[in-house]
Amino acid sequence: MAKVHSVYVCQNCGYSQSKWAGKCPNCDQWGTLVETLPEDTKSGQSRNAHSATPVVLSSLANQALTRTQTGISELDRVLGGGLVLGHVVLLAGEPGIGKSTLLLQVASKASRCLYVAGEESPVQIKLRSERLKLKTDTIEILDVTDVDVVIATLEDLSTSKNPPTLVVVDSIQTISTKDLMGIPGSVGQVRECAHRLTRFAKKYRIPIVLVGQITKGGSVAGPATLAHMVDTVCWFEGETERDLRVLRSIKNRFGATDEIGVFRMQEEGLVSVSDIESAFLNAHEVAPGSVVASILEGSRPLLVEIQSLVVPTKMPIPRRVASGVDPKRVDVILAVLTKHVRLPLYDHDVFVNVVGGISVKEPGADLAIALSLASSVLGKALPEGSIAIGEVGLLGEIRPVLRENERMKQAKRQGLKIVYSHSNASNLQQLVKKTFH
């Protein structure tokens, strides 16, 4: 059999050549040449294919999605109700965040699961299952890293009387094919292996979960490359020093996006948090710089604590440190407070933190951040049982946010009866003056 020769294709301009180079000779972009198999090699046929007959969209019959619940409520919520036949899910996150633990728990609840062990040995997986006290009679470990061997094994199992109901590949960066010269984890290897596994999942209608590792520095070459190939992308985040973990859906062809699931890491593994609305307010205390905010994550309001510390600086350029919130957004709010509220923040170091390790990305927390900064610099705390809901504009105005009534109702159910919003004052200057003077 003739050896398959790969080519290196520029991801920027499409130029291809037989050897790798650091810079594309056509568009002069660095690091864009990726090893790829030619299209005729992948299909085994000539590119001169016969024409196909298009189908009128309105003539297609409606088919209800058949979902299989994973047995973990928060994961099912993020997936949109469970796994669909042929569903390909990418679970990405930093090393040690709990991805393998979660998937091992899911595998133990499946009727038959094939677990492709690329990173850990079967003995290590068994030790983890014993530590978590899981039922492992239905889990089969495949200790290979060649994607062609994996697919051949899956095809044999799929034609049996008891085919697998779930396939877990942990992780996609360790799987490779001999058709490419790149090392496992390279962009070409990751993309080609994921393409072959996705094609198998669609053909045999078996759900596959791919684990994608990212570095603590934020390198997402593997998961970012796979995002457009899979049906669902779930992002596992949190701080390893804390027990709370957040599973976030950023793409879902079979459900809503931006949905989150909250878990707590315990001795028996990851446990779904039922009282998500108050999960991040266990140790909240009334103090200057501390304000409760209501953010919208998916279909549920979530209460989080915003903490700010404003102190005089000894540096020529004041420091601006933000954790859990966009630093650029903090800079905008600081500029609004300096310009319209006349707070002397230009010669102060500013530190802003969202307690619990969750990331806030929506503007509904703007007012809470602003009041937290004002509270810290003025040394006065908000009254007990208060919450801030609103968006702050560049002119200092306070704007309403999406589904504000639901956020207020949830806050009142948690005992927060004092609500600061656009109904209290039309602009931030009036609200700060009314609250702290």
Q: Is residue 293 domain-resident?
A: yes
Q: Is residue 260 domain-resident?
A: yes
pLDDT band at 27 (very low <50, low <70, confident <90, very high): confident
Q: Does residue 73 share a domain with residue 24?
A: no
Q: Is residue 49 domain-resident?
A: no
Q: Is residue 270 domain-resident?
A: yes
Q: Does residue 310 share a domain with residue 399?
A: yes
Q: Which of 3-12, 19-28, 67-76, 324-333 has the lowest mean pLDDT?
A: 3-12
Q: Does residue 386 share a domain with residue 308?
A: yes
What pLDDT is attached to residue 424?
86
Q: Does residue 25 share a domain with residue 94?
A: no
Q: Is residue 60 domain-resident?
A: no
Q: Does residue 209 share a domain with residue 327?
A: no
Tens digits of residue pLDDT in 85-110: 999 999 998 888 899 999 999 999 99
Q: Is residue 407 domain-resident?
A: yes
Q: Pick from 237, 259, 274: which residue ends a domain?
A: 274
Q: Does residue 419 share a domain with residue 382?
A: yes
CATH number at residue 190: 3.40.50.300
SS (H, E, C) the chain: CCCCCCEEEECCCCCEECCCCCECCCCCCECCEEEECCHHHHHCCCCCCCCCCCCCHHHCCCCCCCEECCCCHHHHHHHCCCEECCCEEEEEECCCCCHHHHHHHHHHHCCCEEEEECCCCHHHHHHHHHHHCCCCCCEEEECCCEHHHHHHHHHHHHCCCCCCCEEEEECHHHCECCCCCCCCCCHHHHHHHHHHHHHHHHHHCCCEEEEEECCCCCCCHHHHHHCCCCCEEEEEEECCCCCEEEEEEEEECCCCCCCEEEEEEECCEEEECCCHHHCCCCCCCCCCCEEEEEEEECCEEEEEEEEEEEEECCCCCCCEEEECECHHHHHHHHHHHHHHCCCCCCCEEEEEEECCCCCECCHHHHHHHHHHHHHHHHCCCCCCCEEECCEECCCCEEECCCCHHHHHHHHHHCCCCEEECCCCCCEHHHHHHHHHC
Q: Pick from 274, 293, 312: which residue ends a domain?
A: 274
Q: Does residue 383 share a domain with residue 247?
A: no
Tens digits of residue pLDDT in 169-197: 998 989 999 888 878 888 888 888 999 99
Q: Is residue 46 domain-resident?
A: no
Q: Does residue 270 share a domain with residue 283?
A: no
Question: Which span out of 29-33, 61-65, 156-160 was modeled with the highest average pLDDT?
Answer: 156-160
Q: Does residue 209 share a domain with residue 89?
A: yes
Residue range of the domain that includes 432:
278-436
Q: Is residue 256 domain-resident?
A: yes
Q: Does residue 27 share a domain with residue 87?
A: no
pLDDT band at 45 (very low <50, low <70, confident <90, very high): very low
Q: Does residue 27 share a domain with residue 12?
A: yes
User: How many domains would you assign to the chain?
Assistant: 3
Given a cut of 70, is residue 289 above it in pLDDT?
yes
